[in-house]
Amino acid sequence: MSGALSGKIVQIVVGYLKESIYSEQMMRPRVKRICSYEEFLPTYSLIERITEENKEVDIKVYERNIIVEIVRDFKDKSVVELFEIKESLFEDALKYLKEYEADRFLESYTLYCFSDYSDPELFIRENKDVLAKLLRDQYEDVPEEYFDEVLEGKIKYSTKDLIILDWDNGIILDKNEDFWEEVDIIELACIRVLNLRVFDVMLSEAIQYLTKLHWEKLGYFKLKKLSKDLYLQRISYISYFDSIENVLMLYGDRYYAELYERLCEIFYVSEWIKRVEKKMEMISEIYMMVRQFLTEFYGFILEGSIVALILLEVILALSR
């Protein structure tokens, strides 16, 4: 094989917006067939669609997440040329994120999509060296064991297609060029892991702030306000975490569920969830400590008031 390939490259970059953006043009994730559970799927706002000579750009928003999806055709390109295209598309995506004032957090994923083949398994075998480099993101030869391991996690919708996923690159084979549902699900998985990362930082900053406070110097009313603020924070954190875990779930289709869960496994989502849950527990413990400190403070004031009243009564009695 010459090592030159033809197909499409899809560059996905997901960012986190400082403020929400809304559009009247709404869209749902694309699916291979009409399904009864479509109403459960997330709804995007399509902010902008740009068609240029050699690429198409969709800019979508889901709640506080902005998604830049750039698609470009390529023909008879080598690994080196494909990496150059990928780098160029990634830089373009970053420019769009900057235009919409996205935060510093982002997740990216690159898909190499192919439709010109007779049999997907044969295509993989004939091009395994090139595909391994694309998945691994490296120019050098990739150990055969790596590709065999990645190939074990392949997912198929039918006998005519195949998808292979790795950390930040994937290969999609579909003779009908019906790649878009996989693209949408990958975007959902990127949104999930990005939001968990953002949430993790939010919790870390809150914990750092709370642990630096000198509670004994705050006084009763400031402590009471801190307790109330912590209570409201806990509610907002629980609500935010719930939205991350529930809104992005897919319903009713084994293929989509398998694909989504595979991505979550690759992105170590379960580890991120453990990190976040641990920090949420720390916030709860700090809240309980503040409540305990407030109770003790209130008890001290109450005891002091009782002693003062007794002394006042004694003084009044002696003065008669």
Following DSSP, what letter does each residue of 137-200 receive, concatenated? T-SSPPPHHHHHHHHTT-B-SSTTEEEEE-SSEEEEEETT---HHHHHHHHHHHHHHHHHHHHH
DSSP 3-state of 1:
coil
Distance of CA 249 to the CA centre of its chain: 13
Confidence of residue 63 (pLDDT cuts 50, 70, 90): confident
pLDDT at residue 220 is higher than 70: no
Greatest mean pLDDT among 83-92, 185-194, 306-315? 83-92
> Is the pLDDT score of 74 beyond 90?
yes
Separation between Cα atoms, residue 183 and residue 149, nearest integer Å: 23
CA distance 70 to 113: 13
Please state, in angstroms and rounded to a whole number, the distance separating the CA atoms of residues 101 and 114.
34
Q: pTM for this one? A: 0.81
**Is the pLDDT higher at 265 or at 21?**
265
Q: Would you say residue 85 has pLDDT above 90?
A: yes
pLDDT higher than threshold 70 for residue 152 = yes
Is 90 exceeded by the pLDDT of residue 210? no
Q: Are 4 and 92 in contact (CB under 8 A)?
A: no
Pick the more confident residue, 300 or 313: 313
Nearest-angstrom CA–CA distance, 62 and 43: 7
Q: Where are the domains of the chain?
A: 5-182, 187-316
Provide the percentage of residues in the chain whose pLDDT is more than 70: 83
Burial group, residue 43, by CB count within 10 angstroms (0-12, 13-18, 19+)? exposed
Range 164-176 average pLDDT? 92
Tell me: pLDDT of 28 over 70: no
Look at residue 273 and tell me whether its pLDDT is greater than 70: yes
Confidence of residue 304 (pLDDT cuts 50, 70, 90): confident
pLDDT in tens, 104-121: 889 999 999 999 999 999
Q: Is the pLDDT of residue 39 over 70?
A: no
- Between 74 and 26, the higher pLDDT residue: 74
DSSP 8-state code for residue 247: T
Q: pLDDT band at residue 14, thresholds of 50, 70 and 90?
A: very high
pLDDT at 316: 76
Give CA–CA dist 104/106, Å, rounded.
Answer: 7
